């Protein structure tokens, strides 16, 4: 659990990102208490792992790694990277790149072979970030989100992960037809 100071910084970073254009669910700025309740709840969900980014010690962003529930054995090799953001005042320092790579390392260490994510078609920085980091766009959804009364398309991506030890992903998954 984050200490109260870090939680306050996380809420400030979240609202700054929402006001600037969001991209991770919320469209309107939220009250401090609503955000604190949200993040406390997120950290209690067993399938979710929460990652924070710091700049000079201050929390300025976060990301979540979501594994499938235990009953979903068929998709146990895959996970979702969601809600990745860096506050506008901390962008351009390479923090998002580091954050995504840390999430990937953790996922690979847990045996995850495929990381999935989706993003609004309007989030150009995020699209560039993920494509530069090797994510493959496999589809788009014309009615992905509603923002400011407009329907916005979304893009879907995956990236294969390689574990540090053990069988390669090509070995584990076999030939993938694309």
Ligand X SMILES: CC(C)(COP(=O)(O)OP(=O)(O)OC[C@H]1O[C@@H](n2cnc3c(N)ncnc32)[C@H](O)[C@@H]1OP(=O)(O)O)[C@@H](O)C(=O)NCCC(=O)NCCS
Binding residues (CB under 6 A) for ligand X: these are 17, 23-24, 83-86, 91-97, 119, 123, 125-126, 128-129, 132
Which residue, 47 or 172, has its beta carbon nearer to ligand X? 47
Which residue, 83 or 113, has its beta carbon nearer to ligand X? 83
Cα–Cα distance, 49 to 47 (Å, whole number): 7
Which residue, 51 or 169, has its beta carbon nearer to ligand X? 51
Specify whether the CB–CB gap between 14 and 85 falls below 8 A. Answer: yes
How many CB atoms are closer than 10 A to CB 33? 9
Work out how close the CB of 158 gets to ligand X at its nearest, in angstroms, rounded to a whole number: 15
Cα–Cα distance, 173 to 140 (Å, whole number): 24
Which residue, 24 or 135, has its beta carbon nearer to ligand X? 24
Q: What is the DSSP letter of 88?
A: G
CA contacts within 13 A on the Cβ side of 110:
20
Work out how close the CB of 48 gets to ligand X at its nearest, in angstroms, rounded to a whole number: 14
Work out how close the CB of 22 gets to ligand X at its nearest, in angstroms, rounded to a whole number: 7
Work out how close the CB of 166 gets to ligand X at its nearest, in angstroms, rounded to a whole number: 29
Work out how close the CB of 123 gets to ligand X at its nearest, in angstroms, rounded to a whole number: 4
Which residue, 40 or 89, has its beta carbon nearer to ligand X? 89
150, with CB counted inside 10 A (0-12, 13-18, 19+), is: exposed
Host H or E run for residue 53: strand 48-55
């Amino acid at each position: 659990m984050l200490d109260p100071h870090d939680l306050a910084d996380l809420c400030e970073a979240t609202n700054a990102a929402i006001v600037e254009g969001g991209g991770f669910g919320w469209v309107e700025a939220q009250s401090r208490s609503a955000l604190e309740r949200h993040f406390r709840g997120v950290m209690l969900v067993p399938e979710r792992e929460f990652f924070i980014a710091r700049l000079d010690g201050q929390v300025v962003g976060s990301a979540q790694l979501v594994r499938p529930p235990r009953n979903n054995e068929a998709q146990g090799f895959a996970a979702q990277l969601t809600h990745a953001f860096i506050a506008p005042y901390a962008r351009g320092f390479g923090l998002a790149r580091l954050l995504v790579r840390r999430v990937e390392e953790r996922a690979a260490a847990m045996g995850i072979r495929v990381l999935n994510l989706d993003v609004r078609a309007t989030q150009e920085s995020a699209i560039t970030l993920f494509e530069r980091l090797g994510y493959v766009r496999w589809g788009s959804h014309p009615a992905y989100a509603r923002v400011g009364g407009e329907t916005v398309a979304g893009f879907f991506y995956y990236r294969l992960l390689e574990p540090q030890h053990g069988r390669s992903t090509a070995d584990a998954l076999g030939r993938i037809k694309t």
